[in-house]
Structure 1
Amino acid sequence: MADGAPISLERTERGLTYPQPALPLHGEAVTVADGVLWMRIAMPIALDHINVYAIADGDGWVLVDTGLNTPTTHDAWEKIMAGPLQGRPVHRLIVTHLHPDHIGAAGWLYEKTGAPLLMSRLEYVCARMYVGDDALGPTAEAETFFRRQGWDDEAITRWKKGFGRFSRSISSIPPQFTRLQEGEVLTIDGREWTVVIGEGHSPEHVCLWRKDDDVFIAGDQILPKISSNIGVWDTEPNGDPLKDWLLSLAALKERLPSGLLVLPSHGEPFYGVTTRLDTLLRGHEVGLKRLMRSLKQKSRSIDVFGALFARQIGPELLGMATAESLAHLNYLEGQGCAVRETDENGVEWWFAVEGTQ
């Protein structure tokens, strides 16, 4: 490089370009786009952080996502509001979807700032439903569902002891919300943000697209290094969220320009959305092919982890892994490629349909 030439702080990995040279520290913020701040809040789980964003809005801010409802999260927000947000008011609080790392501190922020909550209807209603389900305790129907997947008594006991994790991870959900819908345009600081709805990872996931400079707040719909969990749970045992997920990814690939700046909920902001969507779609295609090969031998949903996951599945991940395996199996069933049969103990066994691959 010639003397005096500018030094790029960008880096490129696996076809994606990461423009930010450093991560925001606890209680601090990094400007990632005009009027958009990126904050990073620690979480005490394997996925050890969540990205949250603040969009300048006149004399205040619009916040996107909240973090888990923990003292660490509260402390981070206290520092953020006093520091990077300069004590200015919060006008609106947007939650992309119902998972606890996104909605967890929404009630706490709602009480602290008085800002109205904006979500899609299905995400809000389902969150309220999960709180109600937690209050009921483990049901016989749910236990039957997990035993049908092949869970043993030890796994069932562990599930019962940990029951209610959703409610324990969130503050009280605000009693009112404003609905966000596909194609709706939000005006923030005089600029338009279009609501884009994704499905599969959650029922009606909200993304936000500022088209005038192609900034896209993606939530968990597009992540740079991991694929979001796609799961079938006891409340909808025959659901096909993987079909919804693949259709959503394909639609985003057709819709989003290649030069888009993606602001994800985990990992770092990046360019290369088309490359990343191709990789996500291809990853599921490869996983489904491996799964089909494994179904030459009759298997339970807990027997096919090796075909889908690149790591060992311990007890702490059994629920999510089972849900994701079943999502792939239900998808294959819907495509006419796999069938199931139930044995005398009520356990489901899956096998490939002859002549499919």
Structure 2
Amino acid sequence: MSLDYPFTEIPAAGEVREVAPGIFWLRMPLPFQLDHINLWLMRDGAGWTIVDTGFPDDAVRETWRAILDRLDGPVTRLIVTHFHPDHLGLATWLLAETGAELWMTSGEFLTAHVVWNEVAGHGARFMVEQFRQHGLDGEHLARFEKRGSGYRKAVPGLPEHYRRIKAGDAIRIGCHTWQTIIGYGHAPEHLALYCAELGVLISGDMLLPRISTNISVFAATPDADALRWYLASLDRMAEEVLPQTLVLPSHGLPFTGVQARVGALHAHHEERLHALENSCEHAPQSAAGLLDVLFGRVLDTHQTMFAMGEAIAHLNYLEQAGRLSRSIDADGVIRYSRLQHQPAAH
């Protein structure tokens, strides 16, 4: 089963396009290789709900102002799927512009504050030490020390209060009920919203049509099995969502074919896991030494940060599955070796 793309024309800057009854698609630019984010505007009684914010850029603010000026009612609620800058970066500004109330999961709201303040294992100094332990060279480490985490620049300010969303909540937006689906691996407590009546899933970054979202291990949780959490989250999503559901992702085009996409992502990650496993066959390898195996291209500093987190996630998965063993060499670098006698599959 392949994916179907019912909307192939991308909304122009400032355009608001209806993709389901009362649900409108906006597209905003991003200053990265992934150059856009999809945002969602939802009819909510006499007013409106916004899902995600976009990146804090003057052009994005001006686009938002033009859209807000055209609305026929107030924005009463801002729902943020997770703490990453392209989703939360303009939250403080949008709340001030509209008077809306912020709705988020606790995991995302609190993580945003921890990352912003660079405490509790989050921040550049912790990341640099984590990457050193996983074999990254001194030149790259120096760049990260100089660059910092970048989160404060990308998220100029953070709201101080919010309405908490929990797993299993039913949220009434307009005349429709949306079920919350919480996912793990990409972010601590990522929110997706599913309306069975409309046949629509707002998937955030958890389910994208053409790329696999970044799955990283962070310094605060060095042994996290983030990839296993992510794949298990996708399986739960595929079980809860009907096959004909229209998926509204944060990046790429809206699509149908949830189960097919989840299957393809499982196959993609298993292929990457096998490649890593084979690369650890003859000599112990570090995460940094395996970046070429995973990505096969030259990475800039920004991309290297995500690549290291993703390599560690895959290696943690393999170690905890009993497919690799982990050791620490004389320089304090963590290395992985293929186990010669793996446990029998059940």
The amino acid of 1:120's aligned partner reads: T
Instruction: Give the aligned partner of residue 3 of structure 1.
Output: none
- Note the alpha carbon deviations across 1:166-221, whole angstroms, 9 max, x for none: 11101311110111111111111121111111111111110111111211100001
Instruction: Give the aligned partner of residue 19 of structure 2.
Output: 32
Shift of 1:273: 1.1
Q: TM-score, normalised by structure 1?
A: 0.92
Of all paired residues, the percent bearing the same amino acid is 37
Q: Tell me the distance in 2 between the aligned counterparts of 1:149 and 1:72.
A: 39
The partner residue of 2:46 within 25, 36, 59 is 59
Instruction: Give the aligned partner of residue 335 of structure 2.
Output: 349
Shift of 1:157: 1.3
Secondary structure of 1:31's counterpart equals strand
Instruction: Give the aligned partner of residue 195 of structure 1.
Output: 180
Kept in 1: contact 2:194–2:241 (CA 8 A): no
Q: Tell me the distance in 1 between the aligned counterparts of 2:112 and 2:275.
A: 34
Shift of 1:134: 7.3
The partner residue of 1:129 within 93, 109, 114 is 114
Shift of 1:312: 3.2
Shift of 1:310: 4.9
The amino acid of 1:55's aligned partner reads: M
The partner residue of 2:30 within 43, 54, 61 is 43
The unaligned stretches of length 5 or more in structure 1 are 1-13
Q: Tell me the distance in 2 between the aligned counterparts of 1:177 and 1:17.
A: 36
Shift of 1:236: 1.5
Q: Tell me the distance in 2 between the aligned counterparts of 1:190 and 1:48.
A: 34
Residues 222 and 310 from structure 1, CA distance in 2 versus in 1: closer, same or farther, beyond 3 angstroms? farther
Instruction: Give the aligned partner of residue 92 of structure 2.
Output: 107
Aligned residues: 341
The partner residue of 2:171 within 171, 186, 196 is 186
Q: TM-score, normalised by structure 2?
A: 0.94
Kept in 2: contact 1:231–1:324 (CA 8 A): yes
Is 2:92 aligned against 1:80? Answer: no
Shift of 1:314: 3.4
Q: Tell me the distance in 1 between the aligned counterparts of 2:320 and 2:230.
A: 14
Is 2:6 aligned against 1:23? Answer: no
Residues 138 and 271 from structure 1, CA distance in 2 versus in 1: closer, same or farther, beyond 3 angstroms? closer
Q: Residues 278-293 of structure 1 correspond to what in structure 2 (within 5 A)?
A: 278-293=263-278
Q: Residues 1-357 of structure 1 correspond to what in structure 2 (within 5 A)?
A: 15-83=2-70, 85-86=71-72, 88-133=73-118, 138-139=124-125, 141-296=126-281, 297-356=283-342
